[in-house]
Amino acid sequence: MTDMLAPYYPWIVLLHLACAIVFVGAAAFEVFVLEGLHKVIDIATMGRIETAVMARVRRFMPVVVLLLFLSGFALFDLRCNGLQCLGSTRFGWFLLAKAILAFGVLGVFVNAVWAGAHGRMNACRFRYTHRIVLSLMAAIVFLAKTMFYL
Confidence of residue 109 (pLDDT cuts 50, 70, 90): confident
Of 116 and 2, the one with more pLDDT: 116
Using the predicted structure, report yes or no on whether residue 130 has a pLDDT greater than 90: no
Let me know: does 95 contact 85? Beta carbons within 8 Å.
Answer: yes
Domain that holds residue 44: 2-146
| Mean pLDDT, rounded, for 18-37 | 92
Spatial distance between the Cα atoms of 18 and 49, rounded to a whole number of angstroms: 26
Distance of CA 3 to the CA centre of its chain: 27
**pLDDT computed for residue 120 by the predictor:** 85
| Number of domains the chain is built from | 1
Using CB atoms within 10 A of its CB, is residue 137 exposed (0-12), middle (13-18) or buried (19+)?
A: buried
Let me know: does 133 contact 105? Beta carbons within 8 Å.
Answer: yes
| Mean pLDDT, rounded, for 66-72 | 95
**pLDDT computed for residue 2 by the predictor:** 63
Cα atoms found within 13 Å of the Cα of residue 78, Cβ hemisphere only: 17
| Mean pLDDT, rounded, for 51-68 | 90
| Mean pLDDT, rounded, for 14-38 | 92
| Mean pLDDT, rounded, for 104-119 | 87
